[in-house]
Structure 1
Amino acid sequence: MASDGGYAAFPDPSPPGVIVGRYRITGRLGRGGMGTVWRAEDELLGRQVAVKELLLDDGMPDDERRGRRERALREARTAARIKHPHVIVLHDVVEQDGSPWIVMELVDGRSLAEILAKDGPVPPREAARIGAAVTGALHAAHAHGVLHRDIKPANVLIENGTGRVVLTDFGIARVLGSTTLTEAGAFVGSPEYTAPERMSGQSAGPASDMWSLGVLLCAAVRGQSPFRRDSLGGVLHAVVFDEIRPPVELGPLLPVVTALLERDPERRMSAPEAEERLRGYADPSNVSTLPNDIPAPTKPPPTAPAVPTKPRRRTPLILAALSILVVGALGAVALVQHHNAGNSPALAATAPGRAAGATAKTTNPSPSPSRSPATATAGSTAKPVPAGYRLVVDTKGFSLAVPDGFTRSYQPPRVFYFSPGEVFRIGIRTAAPGHGGPLAVMKAQHVDGPGTFKGYRDGFVTETTRAGNPAALWEFTWDGFGDGGGARRTYDLCWTEGGRQYDVWVSSPVAKAELGREYFDSARDTFQPDQNQN
């Protein structure tokens, strides 16, 4: 059955009649935990509206009924404060037979959740358009001190004909500084889309809504949240602890989503920056940023390599909270300790240029007789060599895994490993530590980026660590070498270890950025310096 007004339709509407002598109910549009949404005709003004009825149980205690009524009034006050083209318009709030009713504009369209369920995932450009609109709505809400706290596809409506995007259902929104009206220990929101700080019982802020936006974008291009699991405990574990694997279908949207899915809210991308970047991606004329020829997969491909995270210790308290959540006790999320600061840096990149006249030669050095390259030294964090790769022990004092078929070229001060045709490029450099450490080095290159790389864009630097050592990640897109290969996406990790500074980067075409990131992940994870040469 087709939906009506942007809400999932239900059979047998059984309309309650006329509300306050003015709003004639003509059908039921949808129902959620907070109430039922009805289609109605405003007989005074002669227009169609949506009317939300708060569900009140006659058997509930009086104080709970009062709390429910107050929540409805709060939703009305919240929505009324926000004037934005992508926020649902509130017309009226009335009370009949002791129950509040909220009268809103009727959006003639479907929710994003229904679009995904019936039509499948949307292309990256459409996801960017939807995301930019939602981000603008969130920016307006945050400017009024309002957090939405329930960003998900079901609360994003797409108007028929115009394609207008509307953020709705501020039913669990919270005004910053106010006291929540939920019961003590209760949890409001959709766990798959909820930020880790909220799942861990920490205070929420505007950044929490931005995390949810990042998950929404993943769901838009993949059809479901990357944190979907078979149990509530599994969802909690995925959001708070598991490696974050954004879907490869994001394509060039990956940098924005990666910056939104930072577990540390202080590092998360802000609404103004996200809106600007998403609008740029959504612009049809911006072909270099978001090409239209990204193929839509006929079946779900494997997820992208994980955003690097540190291993986290599972304490008995966390395990106890998880076991409680598995049996449905949502209030237990507040017991989970917060271990997330700095644990989900965005992937980073650089795009060093190709040395003029470079020629590549194949080398696959034999392992030193004193140490097998496949055996990690004491204290090493290097991971096993993945299938389709080979381990090389380079004469410049390091080893790492490179894809089969890549060839080596030494162009001082870097060692390069090129794919056939130099489509993908891995670069390694060792040097004395730079002034201020890796973060200062990467930030300086980021600042110089527009003057160094034609079409420099989407650059950002994230402070992180590697094997407990200071590190920084840098990622950006640029227009490429001018050889017909098009725009390139590049990834870079710079860190200090054993008195040396190491720099490992991968450069790839934008259209193949997910494969480039896989090469980067493998190079980063398997890299091992030869401390004997330091």
Structure 2
Amino acid sequence: MAYDGSEQGGPELIGGRYRLGERLGQGGMGVVRRATDELLGRQVAVKTLALDSGADPADALREARVVAQVRHPHVIVVHDVVEHEGRPALVMELVDGGSLADRLAAGQVFSPRETARLGLDLLDALTAAHARAVLHRDVKPANVLLEKDSGRAVLTDFGIASLPGATTLSRTGAFIGTPEYTAPERMRGGDAGPASDLWSLGAVLCAAATGTSPFRRDSIGAVLHAIVYEEIRPSAAMGPLVPVVRGLLERDPERRLGAAEARRMLAACAAGEAPTAVAPVPTVRDGAPPAVPGGTLPDTASGGPRGGRRGPRALPFVTAAVAVCAAAATVAVLLAMQDEPPAGTAAGAAGTAGAGSTATSAPPSTPAPGRTPVSGTDAASREVTDERGFSLLVPAGAIRTTDGERVIYTSPDGAVRVGVRIRPVPPGGAIGVMRASDEDGPRSNPGYRGATVEETTRRGLPAARWEFTWDGFTRAEGARHTFDIAWEEGETLYDVWVSAPVGRLDEARSRFGATVESFRPTGG
């Protein structure tokens, strides 16, 4: 807010030359204000430590030293360090135009070409930092400034960056960073390198093109689950950017897209061309082809060898689950540090469960004792009673996630999904819903084909059945097939579906029949 002139003597002068003005922003440790450098007659930005932030004054000096190591047009410049209220204050260049977070909050999204240009600026900034062995560790929209006149992007806030030879910033019991833009290896407490910043860049590109992080959920636990486990399915709105984003959001840092390849692909997008991706390298786990439990994405359209990096490493779900449990201990600290409040996610089309689903930290369902084999397969099942008011058979060991009105149970190998949606009967009834979903199929399911929609009945009730094939979540897994049925029971529409790779079509068909037959409303 602008200075109101209420203090005697006018706006405060610090360092003998910087006249403080309006507040431009506030982070976890300090406040940034516009100021006038009265000696040189220029506008600057001054970052002062908030008295109640608990930040160590040495952190400000540390940030200044980090930024001083990296001189680049897309990295914020620190002009001076002065004392303010007994604490150091950073005097920086003023980038007039606000942050990327401000633009997104105002409802602005960027075209794929604009996003690619933004990505090139940030990638250049990170490359310059990494060349000095500096890791930013908090790349997010709030730390990306966009100059109003030139459109130049500037990476700022190196307050938690790591600097070689310097003491690492840490706080007892706290995770340092912003969860929904943090790489999975950091979530797991592993070593972080330049690849961790590139993951964050991928998440920022998604936010710029779609308006939100791909990992935004309604709780911190759900954010952590999404980052380390859930499918990553970039929005089709990203167009030619999808391959580079998938490469940057590869969970295994050894397989993640490197800076040079990312630059080539972003440059192609910025020029209005479709980037060509390097061939993916399949992950081999225990000598067998991978079944992807969401830990890695072997099919990243731009995966493959990255400048002589070592071969891929698997990320079993057990590791991810342990990480989520360990990270849950930091929830209170994460909430206090997160300066971009999470928002709810939109529900997708019926029959698909993608990265937009919101995970529950503990499945609110009650498994019945024992495991029941599904007829015609070796796959075991268990019966669950879900808090949404139904019971049914799901794959043994299935993980429960939610996406708006939808509840999804995913098999431990990530391949088979059982979904349920319960809502009031809409106009047009069950058949209307299925016909609308079929019409929307090419948009919501890439490679949508072989679809059939037919009216039917379930136990004498009006129903509709929808069946289709589509390209699937990952190239390694391949095409998927979905069986879906919706029926009207009084004023309620029940929708149950099963989706699986086409190579497991018989299992999917058998499981669909058993799941629908086992479904019972519980009135909960």
2:323 matched to 1:276?
no
Question: What's the offset of the Cα at 1:255?
Answer: 0.6
SS at match of 2:83: strand
Question: What's the offset of the Cα at 1:91?
Answer: 1.0
Distance 1:330 1:160 in 2: 31
CA contact (8 A) 1:124 1:221 kept: yes
- Of 155, 162, 186 in structure 1, the residue corresponding to residue 150 of structure 2 is 162
User: Where does residue 487 of structure 2 map in the other structure?
Assistant: none
Question: What's the offset of the Cα at 1:82?
Answer: 1.0
Written as runs of structure 1 = structure 2, the 5 A alignment for 1:93-108 is: 93-108=81-96
User: Where does residue 20 of structure 1 map in the other structure?
Assistant: 15
Amino acid in the other structure paired with 1:35: G
Amino acid in the other structure paired with 1:312: F
Structure 1 residue runs of 5 or longer lacking an equivalent are 1-8, 291-305, 332-373, 391-400, 406-423, 427-472, 474-489, 495-503, 507-520, 530-534
Cα–Cα, structure 1 residues 327 and 120, in superposed 2: closer, same or farther, change >3 Å?
Answer: same
- Of 90, 93, 112 in structure 1, the residue corresponding to residue 78 of structure 2 is 90
Amino acid in the other structure paired with 1:168: T
Structure 2 residue runs of 5 or longer lacking an equivalent are 277-293, 299-314, 337-374, 381-410, 420-433, 439-447, 453-468, 481-498, 508-524
Question: What's the offset of the Cα at 1:526?
Answer: 4.1
SS at match of 1:109: coil
User: Where does residue 450 of structure 2 map in the other structure?
Assistant: 403
User: Where does residue 32 of structure 1 map in the other structure?
Assistant: 27
Question: What's the offset of the Cα at 1:120?
Answer: 2.3
Distance 1:245 1:326 in 2: 26
2:123 matched to 1:128?
no
Cα–Cα, structure 1 residues 143 and 318, in superposed 2: closer, same or farther, change >3 Å?
Answer: closer
User: Where does residue 36 of structure 2 map in the other structure?
Assistant: 41
Written as runs of structure 1 = structure 2, the 5 A alignment for 1:312-323 is: 312-313=317-318, 317=322, 320-321=325-326, 323=328
Amino acid in the other structure paired with 2:186: R
Distance 1:268 1:84 in 2: 25
State the Cα deviation string for residues 274-310 of structure 1 (Å, max 9, x = none): 12221221125x4x559xxxxxxxxxxxxxxx88588
Distance 2:503 2:17 in 1: 66
Identical residues among aligned pairs (%): 51
2:191 matched to 1:206?
no
User: Where does residue 137 of structure 1 map in the other structure?
Assistant: 125
State the Cα deviation string for residues 484-513 of structure 1 (Å, max 9, x = none): xxxxxx98549xxxxxxxxx689xxxxxxx
Cα–Cα, structure 1 residues 255 and 375, in superposed 2: closer, same or farther, change >3 Å?
Answer: farther
SS at match of 2:318: coil
Written as runs of structure 1 = structure 2, the 5 A alignment for 1:12-411 is: 17-57=12-52, 68-176=56-164, 178-284=166-272, 286=273, 312-313=317-318, 317=322, 320-321=325-326, 323-328=328-333, 375-376=376-377, 383=416, 403-404=450-451
Cα–Cα, structure 1 residues 524 and 74, in superposed 2: closer, same or farther, change >3 Å?
Answer: farther
Number of residue-to-residue matches in the alignment = 344
Amino acid in the other structure paired with 1:160: K
Amino acid in the other structure paired with 2:317: R
Cα–Cα, structure 1 residues 242 and 11, in superposed 2: closer, same or farther, change >3 Å?
Answer: farther
Cα–Cα, structure 1 residues 319 and 27, in superposed 2: closer, same or farther, change >3 Å?
Answer: closer
SS at match of 2:98: strand
State the Cα deviation string for residues 382-418 of structure 1 (Å, max 9, x = none): 747998999xxxxxxxxxx96238xxxxxxxxxxxxx
User: Where does residue 385 of structure 2 map in the other structure?
Assistant: none
SS at match of 1:27: strand
CA contact (8 A) 2:207 2:214 kept: yes
Task: Give the ranges of 4+ consecutive aligned residues of structure 1 lying more than 6 Å apart after TM superposition.
Answer: 378-382, 384-390
TM-score, normalised to structure 2, is 0.57
Question: What's the offset of the Cα at 1:84?
Answer: 1.1
CA contact (8 A) 1:10 1:29 kept: no
Distance 2:238 2:195 in 1: 21
Question: What's the offset of the Cα at 1:41?
Answer: 0.9
